[in-house]
Amino acid sequence: MSTTPWSSELVLGENSLDIAHRALFAALARLTSLPEDDFSPAFEECVAAVERDFRAEEALMEQVDYKPLQLHREQHTRVLSGLHHAAAALAEGNSGPAREAVFLLGEWLPLHIMTMDRALALAAEPSSGPSTGGT
Per-residue model confidence (pLDDT) at position 135 = 40
3-state SS class at 87: helix
Q: Is residue 87 part of a domain?
A: yes
CATH of the domain at 86: 1.20.120.50
Read off the pLDDT of residues 68-125 as tens digits, 9 standing for 90 and up: 999 999 999 999 999 999 999 999 999 999 999 999 999 999 999 999 999 999 998 8
Q: How far apart are CA 134 and CA 83, in angstroms?
A: 27
Domain that holds residue 120: 13-124
Read off the pLDDT of residues 114-124 as tens digits, 9 standing for 90 and up: 999 999 999 98
Number of domains forming the structure of the chain = 1
Read off the pLDDT of residues 7-21 as tens digits, 9 standing for 90 and up: 788 999 888 899 999
Q: Is residue 36 part of a domain?
A: yes
Residues whose CB falls within 8 Å of the CB of residue 95, separated by 6 or more in sequence, listed in order? 36, 39, 40, 89
pTM: 0.85
Q: Average per-residue pLDDT in the chain? A: 89
Q: Is residue 93 part of a domain?
A: yes
